[in-house]
């Protein structure tokens, strides 16, 4: 198990191999990781157009009882968020 704050990782093609590598470094399910691209790493596919990220225009927080299961039929009938 790694006790270092960071390590170099080349992402493998196989998801199971990536999971095994993370576990070798002591990463446990539910743990948050900060991933930073390596210095000098450029995308390998230069032909892909860059997608402009959308900015967050609105965010809100509210407290309410969970009602998705109770009202699922109603939400689906109304189009689930369509105006």
| 55 or 3, greater pLDDT | 55
Q: What is the mean pLDDT of the chain?
A: 75
- Please indicate, yes or no, if residue 22 is contained in any of the structural domains: yes
- Please indicate, yes or no, if residue 26 is contained in any of the structural domains: yes
What percent of the chain has a predicted confidence (pLDDT) above 70? 75
- Please indicate, yes or no, if residue 78 is contained in any of the structural domains: no
- Please indicate, yes or no, if residue 3 is contained in any of the structural domains: no
Q: How many distinct structural domains can be found in the chain?
A: 1
Q: What is the three-state SS of the chain?
A: CCCCCCCCCCCCCCHHHHHHHHHHCCCCCCCCCCCCCCCCCCCCCCCCCCCCCCCCCCCCCCCCCCCHHHHHHHHHHHCCCCC
Residue range of the domain that includes 20: 9-38
Question: Is this structure's pTM higher than 0.75?
Answer: no
The model's pLDDT over 39-64, given as tens digits with 9 standing for 90+, comes to: 776 656 555 667 777 777 777 776 77
């Amino acid at each position: 198990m790694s006790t270092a704050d960071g390590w170099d990782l080349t992402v493998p093609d196989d998801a199971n191999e990536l999971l095994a590598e993370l576990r070798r470094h002591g990463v446990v399910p539910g743990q948050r990781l900060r991933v930073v691209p390596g210095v000098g790493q450029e995308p390998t596919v230069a032909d892909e157009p860059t997608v402009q990220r959308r900015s967050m225009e609105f965010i809100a927080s509210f407290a309410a009882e969970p009602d998705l299961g109770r009202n699922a039929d109603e939400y689906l009938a109304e189009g689930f968020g369509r105006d």
